[in-house]
Chain A
Amino acid sequence: MITAAIWPALDYSRVPYRLYHDAEIYACEQDRIFRGPAWSFLGMDTEIPNPGDFRATWIGETPIIFNRDESRAVRAFVNRCAHRGALVRRELSGNAEQHICIYHQWCYGLDGSLMAIPFRRGIRGKGGLDASFEMGAHGLRQLKVGNINGALFGTLAEDPEPLEDYLGAPVLAQLRRLFDRPVRVLGYNRQRIRGNWKLYAENTRDNYHASLLHEFLVTFGLDRSTQVGGVKMDSRHRHNITWAEAESDTEEFARQAYAGARVRNDFLSLREPALVAFRAEREDKLNIAITSVFPSAVFVQISNSLAVRQIRPRGVDEVEVFQTMIGYEDDPPEMTLHRLRQANLVGPAGLVSMEDGEAIEIAHRASKPDLDRTTVIELGGGGVISDRDYRVTDVPLRGFWSYYAELLGIEPKGAVR
């Protein structure tokens, strides 16, 4: 059984490899995080515009459907029949008046209530269910649903912290910024990485790796650690915003800074510069804003490429990264084309993101045999977890682990938060 004794350091600067590989710990996470108090991203409001529209998704390994009911309210349920535990809705998306399980045709309404059961009274008075069977007690299990400017979140917690409180002011501000206009979904992409889901959750909070692993950023002048930027967290440090401002450094300064790193600093240019050209869409200068929401959502702006990623654990050794690419409804066709071009930057074939798949797989593979050894998280120093106005840091990883420890009930006495 996992206990608080697993942590070698009270500031979470050491994480035992066991946490990425132990099946029992993985099961515990499903229970205490994904089916626990956390809020998870479900999808976008605009994906289900009409009554009866539904989409299937996942919270951890739990199958979920969300739909718009007759009153136009968004509802979300565990996608599992009360009868035999089968998926009720097998399609990923569509429009329907009811959700009917194929196994024995149990039929649920758009509010999740159990509406009809075939042969409920049997045939010629024989068989069927007892008169005492309560239809009302066998609906689909409901989630609580929250909506931030069209971004839908759900939780299985009975009495959750209000979504706005859970996200905290900095994350709320980022989401309201990203979703300041009605969005249009441009498409999806998926990546299956042979590594534990937390390696991906850490990766999105790790500002230090960005321009070292993803050399495209520096080589082609899209993003450099010499730009003005930093990391900003909520007061509990469970979420993080990695940010940078466009054109906030000089070539010369960057060239000198990267001379000591083992990445090239003879910056190259592209034949099609539109691929990395940033068009400011707001008053602020942010050209990188990566908002990681505990446990499994990431809201991404890289230049003019916009996306929401869902981290979907698939067993202790595999994770699916499901990414929804977005633009805005009022984008002129030329801006949509610009976003489709910049979609080349992200996703499984992304010019600045493909390396993450490889980095996570090699970390997962090499850490597996030595479960009591640990990672090192000390960029930007150990000790107190706090915001930083520089980019060579991985402090937000310690914030992730501190909330992780709290939810799993393994927070050591005297640990930082």
Chain B
Amino acid sequence: MTADGASVYALLAEYGALIDAAKFDEWLELFSAECRYQIAPRENFDRGLPAALVFCDSRAMLEDRIRALREANKYNIHTDRHLIGLPRILDDGFAVEAPFAVYQTDQEGETRLFATGLYRDRLEAIGRHLKIRDKLILLDTFAVPSLLATPL
């Protein structure tokens, strides 16, 4: 089976929309039962250094992140807006690269560019749905403005 363009676009659109709506539990459902999620500064990736800003090498760790966000962490009060660019669909259709920008808007309506970078996703088909098995977020904006709490 190959992944068709329309399902990849739909997955990416859903991905951004769920974060922007702060629906993090539904967002988690876009990932496979076994998955990885990493936000890697370009500075490290280009030098072959392994440290990441967020390093979840299991679904349990990703769920812990979301739980911590809800139960413990305090962060800048804001809303996110994901602009996800046209994806390149590679190989068998399950490797996807998409550029993204995330803008943050504070409570007084001031918007700033928070992050830009590249998604490198490995997808898999679970029944009729595409799920994210491995997401590597290469962060161009690795001088992180203020702090990084909500997922990119």
Which A residues contact B (CB, under 8 angstroms)? 92-93, 185-194, 213, 215-216, 219-220, 264, 268, 270-272, 275, 320, 325, 336-337, 340-341, 343-344, 347-349, 351, 354-358, 361
Contact = CB atoms under 8 A, between A and B. Distances in A.
Interface stretch (B17-25, B42-50, B97-105): B42-50
Interface stretch (B57-65, B82-90, B122-130): B57-65
Contacts of B143: 190-192, 320
A187 B61 contact: no
A281 B50 CA distance: 22
Interface string B31-75: 000000001010110010111111111101101110110011111
A195 to B, nearest CB: 9
B147 A348 contact: yes
Nearest to A270: B64
Contacts of B148: 348-349, 354
Contacts of A341: 55, 57, 61
Contact of A357 (B47, B54, B65, B147): B147
Contacts, number: 126
B13 interface: no
A357 B146 contact: yes
Contacts of B52: 187, 340, 343
Contact of A216 (B39, B61, B72): B72
Given A187-B43, A270-B60, 7 more contacts: A187-B49, A188-B44, A188-B49, A190-B143, A215-B74, A349-B54, A354-B149
- Counting chain B residues whose Cβ lies within 8 A of the other chain, the interface size class is 35 or more
B142 A190 contact: yes
B116 to A, nearest CB: 15
B76 interface: yes
Contacts of B145: 192
Contacts of A270: 60, 64, 67
B144 interface: yes
B75 A355 contact: yes
Contacts of A320: 143
A143 to B, nearest CB: 24
B41 A354 contact: no
A351 B142 contact: no
B146 A193 contact: yes
Contacts of A343: 51-52, 55
Contact of B146 (A185, A192, A325): A192
A348 B144 contact: yes
A358 B68 contact: no
B64 A271 contact: yes
B73 A354 contact: yes
A325 B51 contact: yes
A54 to B, nearest CB: 14
